[in-house]
Structure 1
Amino acid sequence: MKKTPASAVHLALTLALGLAAATGAHAQDFPAGKPITIVVPFAAGGPTDRVARDLAEAMRKPLDGTSIVIDNAAGAGSTIGNAKVARARPDGYTLLLTHVGMATTPVLYRKLPYDYETDFEYLGMINDVPMTVIGKPQLEAGNFKELREWIAKNPGKTNLGNAGIGSASHLCGLLLQSELKAEMTTVPYKGTAPAIADLLGGQIDLLCDQTTNTTSQIEARKVKAYGVTTLKRLGTPALKDLPTLDESGLKNFQVTIWHGLYAPKGTPAPVLRKLNDALKVALKDPDFIRKEEGLGAVVVADRRVEPAEHRKFVQQEVARFGPVIKAAGVYAD
């Protein structure tokens, strides 16, 4: 067996130590006045985009005033933006902010250009956005119990709208049908706006969507509101009297559309710590909390702000949504 010369081994070790030292020095200097980009895998103006822009503003101060810009890389149910960050240089200057899709795309898509478990560093969870079950104004059912009875008497005739395959409303609708053991006709739309428009017009019967999209309609009494998908009632003025589905008989029914922050795999540990520390500061910022409450969102204040706990939570969500999506036979190419 041919031996490697001692000089070559010494050179290799020197280069490795030099590279490690350079990486460590770079990490200590982070963010070094260079702009940070948060990739949002959805179009500008939507709920996730608004969360990202509010968070960017709140994280600037704990990151020494560093400029944080938003890059909307929309398309293919968030997978384009997710893949963009998975392939980005792991230096902390390119981050991903996305929602529950991090846990549902691995089931919805037969093939992905990234692995949600191995291609990202988890930085922490940001918020929970509750969902509401709303109905067209003409529905006779006055509460969730009556709605449940009405659905049972009309198997297959209830039209349940959603904002498209893989959307928050689609996932909520799948869980609702699964828990009710009810047969409904699913009506997908290209976005929430047309779905709500048809609900108001009576073309569909029901919709389960985020409070960010439904609160104004509920407050104006333009729709029938049947329940909120949290285990506790919400404290917002417009929704504080709306019962939870749990208290209305659908025990332990809980679904929220959460958002999390991620970095490419291999980002140096000191950089990850700085980013996580900045995230924690941002989540306690009164102005950020006020803006999130205005969207109907609840800022996370539990262990899920820790990278390991957020990773564990996402794995639990994959296990939770997976069987429901597979049972429905819904897949995106």
Structure 2
Amino acid sequence: MTSKIKTWLGMAFGAALLPLHAPVAAQAAWPDKPITLVVPYSAGGPTDVVARMLAIPMGKSLGQTVIVENTVGAGGTIAPARVARAAPNGYTILIHHMGMATAPALYKKLSFDPLKDFEYIGQVLDVPMTLLSRKDFPANNFQELLTYVKANKDKVSLANAGIGAVSQLCGLLFANQIGVNLTTVPYKGAGPALNDLMGGQVDLLCDQTTQTAPVIKDGTRVKVFGVTTPTRLASMPSIPTLDEQGLKGFDVKVWHGVYAPKGTPPDVTAKLNVALRAALQDDAVKARIAELSSEIVPMDKVTPESLRTLLTSETAKWGKVIKASGVQAE
């Protein structure tokens, strides 16, 4: 065999091996560009606050920038629809709260299936809620609030962050439990709703402590009437629960999870899970979440399996509540 033939065969053999090795090298390099973390609600809202807390430490863990993108509208359903249609490569991911579980019952036509169109990365944190009013609202405690609302139900406005938002569900449960129908005022996000409450344009709002804790602690811009969980908040122990003030069994808290498009490779979702876990154990993140009266879930819940189980059970639970209430969006 001549040297030229040997050289040609060697080159051909090497070229034949390239397709086998190239994908392995590319896959091992993930991520090699910024990752977009999609938020279904407006900047400054509760879910946006959580996303921005996680973005920097997750980026450090992954070695790439994590960009927060607010994709708002349709009660928080546009963002998951966008992520469900995104390329399943880990570069577009979603953070969402319990709205993923309520959407199937709230919307007749949903362009995505929360249980089938995503890979699960893990749970994030649980957030209590608080019932607030504008600072100059006539009532000064919960019993006065009940008396005033029942006597002036046609005049009292109840803000929320939009159809399907947790603030809407919390407000709906409150109104149902006290036996009145209140005028609801939907906003395009929790931030605008809270701003109008502080500005005196609306009367009441039930929203997450990631949004409300700073203004409650400020003490000059809103009144607070109770916490929506069965136990008081460690960071604000003077605020009684709605349950202990007479609304027996009232229990609403907001859970959050991170998702990727269906078909995202397992090694990529595993890296995202590692980054999420690292972010939740970051000292600055833990301090900030505690400051906002929220709780990071135990690390054994920061798993795909735990999030899948939670979403399945919560979808069944809230589906019954929503259908019984008769509330539905187009």
Same topology, TM > 0.5 = yes
1:33 correspondence with 2:51: no
Residue from 104, 110, 119 that aligns with 1:121: 119
1:171 aligned residue: 169
Report how far residue 36 of structure 1 moved.
2.1
CA contact (8 A) 1:119 1:265 kept: yes
1:104 aligned residue: 102
CA contact (8 A) 1:175 1:324 kept: no
Report how far residue 23 of structure 1 moved.
6.7
1:9 aligned residue: none
Larger of the two Rg values belongs to structure: 2
Q: Output the aligned Cα RMSD.
A: 2.9
2:256 aligned residue: 259
Report how far residue 168 of structure 1 moved.
2.6
CA contact (8 A) 2:42 2:190 kept: no
CA contact (8 A) 2:45 2:190 kept: no
Structure-2 separation of matches of 1:26 and 1:193: 41
- SS in structure 2 opposite 1:310? helix
Tell me the amino acid that sits aligned with residue 166 of structure 1. Answer: G
CA contact (8 A) 1:135 1:199 kept: yes
What is the TM-score normalised by the length of structure 2? Answer: 0.82
Residue from 306, 310, 314 that aligns with 2:303: 306
Report how far residue 136 of structure 1 moved.
3.8
Report how far residue 31 of structure 1 moved.
2.0
Structure-1 separation of matches of 2:72 and 2:200: 31
2:12 aligned residue: none
Q: What stretches of structure 2 of length at least 5 have no aligned partner?
A: 1-17
User: How many residues of Structure 1 are paired with residues of Structure 2 in the alignment?
Assistant: 312
CA contact (8 A) 2:119 2:261 kept: yes
Structure-2 separation of matches of 1:76 and 1:21: 45
1:272 correspondence with 2:269: yes
Residue from 285, 297, 306 that aligns with 2:294: 297
Q: Deviations over 1:205-249 (max 9, x none)?
A: 42212223333443324333110112222122xx33111112223
1:56 aligned residue: 55
CA contact (8 A) 1:160 1:204 kept: yes
CA contact (8 A) 1:31 1:66 kept: no
More moved, 189-198 vs 120-129? 189-198
2:230 aligned residue: 231
- SS in structure 2 opposite 1:95? strand
Structure-2 separation of matches of 1:101 and 1:21: 42
CA contact (8 A) 2:90 2:269 kept: yes
Structure-2 separation of matches of 1:204 and 1:279: 37
Tell me the amino acid that sits aligned with residue 288 of structure 1. Answer: V
1:20–1:139 Cα change, 3 Å: farther
2:8 aligned residue: none
Tell me the amino acid that sits aligned with residue 43 of structure 1. Answer: S
Report how far residue 19 of structure 1 moved.
9.8
Q: Percent identity?
A: 50
Report how far residue 146 of structure 1 moved.
4.1
Residue from 216, 220, 240 that aligns with 1:243: 240
What is the TM-score normalised by the length of structure 1? Answer: 0.81
- SS in structure 2 opposite 1:112? coil
More moved, 110-119 vs 263-272? 263-272
CA contact (8 A) 1:30 1:271 kept: no
- SS in structure 2 opposite 1:233? coil
Q: What stretches of structure 1 of length at least 5 have no aligned partner?
A: 1-17
2:92 aligned residue: 94
Structure-2 separation of matches of 1:19 and 1:252: 61
1:189–1:271 Cα change, 3 Å: closer
Residue from 184, 187, 206 that aligns with 2:185: 187
1:286 aligned residue: 283
